[in-house]
């Protein structure tokens, strides 16, 4: 007899983790797989965390987070976008916020729309909760359009997930494009989850948010990508009062609260000047895009630190396997998609590693 819950049949181990396991067996691989910044947490933020640890701020906080950070998050969105975030709570990373949001809203049989390609958690968490994931094909431009969303809506559709800038494509949507999706959601009375974890890493157009566009929107954001606080597990959510209250109740019985000292340090992280980091990633984006565009089918990413090319033979999964065998770690596109035609590169890596990886990939495609 198996003691495993039946729900575990609806999800698989992350394909990214499988690549990480392969990486452990390679000697000095060119690692273009990891979705975390290649810079460290700012020294001032580290010192702030240490100061609070030493002062004894090491206990549980209130479940919804410390007031100081909730107010700082509100000020951040007000100053940057001119919008007021309603009912802010602090979560254990954006992943924690996503899990709470879906737990609080998805009933068995509810359909959830997202763009394909998609961040891996969207599909699997919806399936885990008994919902039905409905990825909408966005190839070849990778932008979720109102027409594509409307074509996917049925009487069972409850929720739309939007991710801009996107993981895994790096494609970014501007304010009018996001507003058009918000208008579709309003027309069909859908709930929206907008995953904005990469909004601070926008290279060509000003950062945009769906906050303030439609009242039935849950905004998720955090500190893993902008402040490199991946291991500190601090994010935040804001949205309709009823849903945020449900998320807060669920957090009491799951994550309890985000790490206390990390919340204190996150207040300072929100005030960091991101310009040098954005400039550095824009340069990395240009290195990888300019290096690949004449050999691979590829869309120039406008944000995040990912690019999603397709090899000449259109078999992205096989190409990713070949690249790994040649000591370059990339992620098969099927991890993020119903298609197998592409692969994901993370350019959150040293410039020299990006150049070396690009040369190997071009040779393998020849």
What's the CATH code of the domain at 325? 3.90.1150.10
Q: Is residue 133 part of a domain?
A: yes
Query: Do residues 65 and 88 both lie within one domain?
Result: yes
Crossing angle between the packed helical segments 351-365 and 316-325, to the nearest 10 degrees: 120
Query: Do residues 158 and 119 both lie within one domain?
Result: yes
Query: Do residues 263 and 279 both lie within one domain?
Result: no
For the chain, what is the total number of helices (H) and then of strands (E)?
12, 12
Query: Do residues 116 and 171 both lie within one domain?
Result: yes
**How far apart are alpha carbons 79 and 91 in whole angstroms?**
22
Give me the pLDDT at residue 166, please: 97
**How far apart are alpha carbons 167 and 306 in whole angstroms?**
7
Give me the pLDDT at residue 122, please: 97
Q: Is residue 104 part of a domain?
A: yes
Q: Final residue of a domain: which of 269, 303, 332?
A: 269
Residue pLDDT tens, the chain, 366 long: 778 888 887 777 656 666 666 667 778 889 999 888 888 899 999 999 999 999 999 999 999 999 999 999 999 999 999 999 999 999 999 999 999 999 999 999 999 999 999 999 999 999 999 999 999 999 999 999 999 999 999 999 999 999 999 999 999 999 999 999 999 999 999 999 999 999 999 999 999 999 999 999 999 999 988 888 899 999 999 999 999 999 999 999 999 999 999 999 999 999 989 999 999 999 999 999 999 999 999 999 999 999 999 999 999 999 999 999 999 999 999 999 999 999 999 999 999 999 999 999 999 998
Query: Do residues 51 and 195 both lie within one domain?
Result: yes
Q: Is residue 1 part of a domain?
A: no
Query: Do residues 198 and 73 both lie within one domain?
Result: yes
Give me the pLDDT at residue 192, please: 98
Q: Which CATH number belongs to the domain containing residue 140 in this structure?
A: 3.40.640.10
Give me the pLDDT at residue 16, please: 63
**How far apart are alpha carbons 339 and 142 in whole angstroms?**
13
Domain holding 166, by residue range, is: 43-269
Query: Do residues 30 and 48 both lie within one domain?
Result: no
Q: How many domains would you assign to the chain?
A: 2
pTM score: 0.94
Within 8 A by CB and 6+ apart from 22, the residues are 324, 329
Query: Do residues 194 and 213 both lie within one domain?
Result: yes
Angle value at C-alpha 98, between 189 and 100, nearest 5 degrees: 90
The candidate with the shortest Cα–Cα distance to 347, out of 316, 307, 308, 320, is 307
Q: Is residue 141 part of a domain?
A: yes
Query: Do residues 28 and 88 both lie within one domain?
Result: no
Query: Do residues 307 and 237 both lie within one domain?
Result: no
The answer to whether the beta carbons of residues 172 and 163 sit under 8 Å apart is no
Query: Do residues 170 and 97 both lie within one domain?
Result: yes
Q: Is residue 264 part of a domain?
A: yes
Query: Do residues 94 and 63 both lie within one domain?
Result: yes
């Amino acid at each position: 007899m198996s003691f495993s819950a039946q729900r575990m049949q609806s999800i698989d181990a992350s394909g990214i983790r499988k690549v990480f396991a392969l990486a452990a067996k390679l000697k000095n691989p060119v690692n273009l797989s990891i979705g975390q910044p290649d810079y460290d947490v700012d020294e001032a933020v580290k010192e702030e965390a240490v100061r609070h640890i030493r002062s004894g701020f090491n206990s549980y906080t209130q479940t919804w987070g410390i007031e100081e950070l909730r107010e700082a998050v509100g000020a951040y969105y007000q100053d940057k976008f001119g919008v007021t975030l309603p009912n802010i709570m602090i979560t254990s990373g954006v992943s924690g916020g996503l899990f709470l949001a879906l737990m609080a809203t998805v009933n068995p049989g509810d359909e959830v729309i997202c763009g394909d390609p998609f961040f891996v958690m969207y599909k699997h968490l919806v399936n885990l909760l008994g919902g039905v994931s409905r990825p909408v094909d966005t190839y070849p431009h990778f932008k979720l359009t109102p027409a594509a969303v409307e074509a996917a809506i049925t009487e069972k559709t409850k929720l739309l997930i939007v991710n801009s800038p996107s993981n895994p494509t790096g494609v970014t949507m501007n304010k009018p494009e996001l507003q058009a999706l918000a208008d579709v959601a309003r027309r069909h009375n859908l709930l929206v989850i907008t995953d904005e974890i990469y909004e601070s890493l926008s290279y060509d157009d000003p950062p945009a948010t769906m906050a303030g566009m439609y009242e039935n929107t849950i905004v998720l954001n955090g500190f893993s990508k902008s402040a490199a606080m991946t291991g500190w597990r601090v994010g935040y959510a804001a949205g309709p009062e009823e849903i945020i209250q449900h998320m807060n109740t669920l957090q009491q019985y799951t994550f309890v609260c985000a790490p206390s000292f990390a919340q204190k340090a996150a207040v300072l992280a929100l005030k960091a000047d991101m310009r040098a980091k954005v400039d550095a990633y824009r340069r990395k984006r240009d290195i990888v895009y300019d290096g690949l565009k004449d050999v691979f089918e590829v869309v120039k990413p406008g944000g995040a630190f990912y690019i999603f090319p397709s090899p000449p033979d259109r078999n992205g999964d096989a190409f990713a396997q070949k690249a790994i065998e040649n000591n370059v770690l990339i992620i098969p596109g099927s991890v993020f998609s119903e298609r197998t035609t592409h692969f994901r590169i993370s350019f959150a890596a040293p410039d020299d590693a990006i150049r070396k990886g690009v040369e190997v990939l071009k040779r393998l495609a020849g």
